[in-house]
Amino acid sequence: MSICLTKMEVEHLNIAILGDTHGHLTLAYRVLKRWQEEEGQEVDLILQVGDFGAFPPPYRLDKATKRFAESDPDELGFTAYFHGEPEAEEMLGPGAAEHRKIDADMIFIRGNHEDFSYLCELGGTDHGPVPVDAFEKIHYLKSGVPFTYEKDGHSLRIAGLGGIADETGNPVKNDGGECYTRQDIKRLFALTERLDVFLSHEPPLDAAARIHPKYAGAGSPAVRDFIVNFQPAYHFCGHYHEEGREISFSTATRSYHMNAVSFWRPHRLNPGCIGILQWQGSRALGMSFLDAPWLKEYTKSTYRYL
């Protein structure tokens, strides 16, 4: 599938990369809108690495999400976008004010904390990203299904592997849970064109130790094998909620772990939770994590008002 937009020509694309959002969509959008204002540039596309927090009403929550939502209602923040409530409309709606509006579409893969029944029931997922919100700006990308994003002569090919391996490091037979399936792996490894961006929720086996030594021996064998054999230009993952950093282990692929889009403490945004990949034509100009003085203004109690 190809998503093609024609707007004012741009010299390069700004692709925002988000770590695990767990429903904190308004926080992500507010920070990205501020980045646009500070840099005088637009975000063209948003990519998210799973644990998106896709829990529409009626809520079918896993135990962890239910526990966290009791103290942090933003864990259920997807609801506002699913229904098109004012909180979402002021940024994504057709009448959104310029100082709030975000034009970029968001593409997400699944993590291990989503309403899996809801995602499995979505139609059309075998053909490309499908919208999940009231404004058709947020799209779910099924594992192993590629798509090409194009704008003003720039293009990049993207695919992902959502979910995690089972406790033995393998895919499972049937869909409907937190683990990726054998069919997911079959689709992914059947791809014939090199990817510009590969998204996974779980980090690669062995490379996870680059995030923190405590993750030695952890990670996904399938993600590692795909990177080694298919050599995507860039790879982004999440899952561990640790400071964002480069974890490259293959000379052909730049691999990054993204922190969760939330607050490490009430007064500090998690370091390395959002990145910007700049893309020109069919090649990358570089990737950097957001790390600006103005980020200190964003706290758990202030971000909705900035």
pLDDT single digits (tens) 60-93: 999 999 999 999 999 999 999 999 999 999 999 9
CA distances from 159 to 16, 194, 267 (A): 16, 10, 35
Confidence check: pLDDT of 138 > 90: yes
The full set of domain ranges for the chain reads 12-305
Tokens of 5: 């937009």
- Predicted TM-score (pTM) above 0.75: yes
Q: Kindly report the CA angle at 183 between 181 and 186, in degrees rounded to 5? A: 115
The pLDDT value given to residue 100: 87
Model confidence at 192, in pLDDT bands (50, 70, 90)? very high
The fold adopted by the segment(s) 12-305 is Purple Acid Phosphatase; chain A, domain 2 (3.60.21)
Strands 154-161 and 197-200: what pairing?
parallel
pLDDT single digits (tens) 4-46: 444 455 799 999 999 999 999 999 999 999 999 999 999 999 9
Tokens of 230: 């298919």
Question: What is the rounded average pLDDT of the residues 242-259?
Answer: 97
The pLDDT value given to residue 147: 96
Task: Report the candidate in 210, 231, 230, 272 with the shortest Cα–Cα distance to residue 49.
Answer: 272
DSSP 50: S
Q: What is the mean pLDDT of the chain?
A: 94
Contacts 24+ apart (CB under 8 A), 32-35: 32/102, 32/104, 32/274, 33/91, 33/99, 33/100, 33/101, 33/102, 34/294, 34/298, 34/306, 35/276, 35/290, 35/292
For residue 121, which amino acid is it? Answer: E
Q: Which residues pair with 172 in a beta bridge?
A: 181
Tokens of 25: 């969509």
Question: What is the rounded average pLDDT of the residues 232-239?
Answer: 98
